[in-house]
Structures are given as structure tokens and as C-alpha cells.
Amino acid sequence: MVEKTLSLVKPDGVAGNHIGEILNLYEKEGLKIVALKMIKINKEFARQHYIDLKDKPFYQELVDFISSGPLVAMILEGEDAVNTVRRVNGATDPKEAAEGTIRNKYAKGKTDNTVHGSDSVEHAKREISMWFPEYLDSYLS
């Protein structure tokens, strides 16, 4: 199935100069970058993005981190895009991330783990509509 998914290069990935390498890894997997922007989000937007994790002990730390500096948001499109991005990103904890994955290469910690990828097609739709409302009509129709 051709799908769309949302990926973020988190503030640590931007600060570490890894944007180009990360885009390259996605493109080499055959994923198409169909929307792309750099922004710094506020805490309210961060809380909404991670609303499903609101009861986790690390929620506040996560909200503070993801809103701490500029990040790169993109919509990626391709066959099995949701799972492809999550495979290329690697496990949440960089210590458990497989060799060659983005988190294995660049992530320093469990919170500052360099990238985000939507975890399902349903969540991807929600996240794309949040992060790219300006593309909603053309990309989700």
C-alpha cells in the first residue's frame, strides 16, 4: 500500500547537522519527500503532538525537548511508508537501535533520539493534519 507518514528530525538532529544525512537515508529507501519545513513549535503544540503519552513520567521532559529548538517536519510517501520510516529510524532507545539505523548512528538518549515517525496510518493522518494543515486538501484527499 502506498501510504503517507509524518517524520520529524528532532532538535538534536538539527543541532547535530544531521538533516541532510537523514533525508538521504529516507530517499535511498525509495520514500518521496512530498512536504518539508523547518519550524520551532511551542509547548502547546508539543503537548498535542504527544497527547497519547500525557500520563507517562517523561511527558514534560519530552514536551520541553521537542519544543526546545528548530526541527524539520516532513511528509514521506511510498510503499509501506509508516513501517519503512520506523525501520530506518530504529528502536526508541538508541541503545537498542539496530546497526545503521538513524537512532543507532546519531541519537544520544531516550528522549533526544533524533527522529520521529508516525506509528500507524491512522496516526499519520492525524499528525499530517496537525503539522501540515496547509496541505490537507491536496495531500489527504
The footprint of ligand IDP (CB under 6 A) covers 53, 58, 62, 92, 110-111, 113, 116, 119
* Residue 49 annotated among the catalytic residues of the structure: no
Contact 135, 35 (CB under 8 A): yes
Catalytic residue among 18, 49, 116, 123: 116
Find the shortest distance in angstroms from Cβ 20 to ligand IDP: 21
Is 108 marked as a binding-site residue?
A: no
Q: Which amino acid is at 30?
A: G
Question: Does 77 interact with Mg ion (rule: CB under 5 A)?
Answer: no
Radius of gyration of the chain from Cα atoms?
14
Report the nearest approach of ligand IDP to the CB of residue 137 (Å).
28
Please check whether residue 42 is in contact with residue 67, taking contact to mean a CB–CB distance below 8 angstroms.
yes
Contacting residue, 119, 121, 126, 129, with Mg ion by CB under 5 A: 119
Q: Which does 5 bind (CB under 5 to 8 A by kind): ligand IDP, Mg ion, none?
A: none
The one of ligand IDP, Mg ion, none whose footprint includes residue 92, by CB under 5 to 8 A per kind, is ligand IDP
Q: Alpha-carbon distance 136 to 112, whole Å?
A: 29
N-terminal to C-terminal alpha carbon distance within the chain: 16
Find cell 508516525 and name the residue.
118
- Is residue 92 marked as binding? yes
CA distance 8 to 77: 14
- Which residues of the shown chain bind Mg ion in the complex (CB under 5 A)? 119
Q: Which residues are catalytic?
A: 116
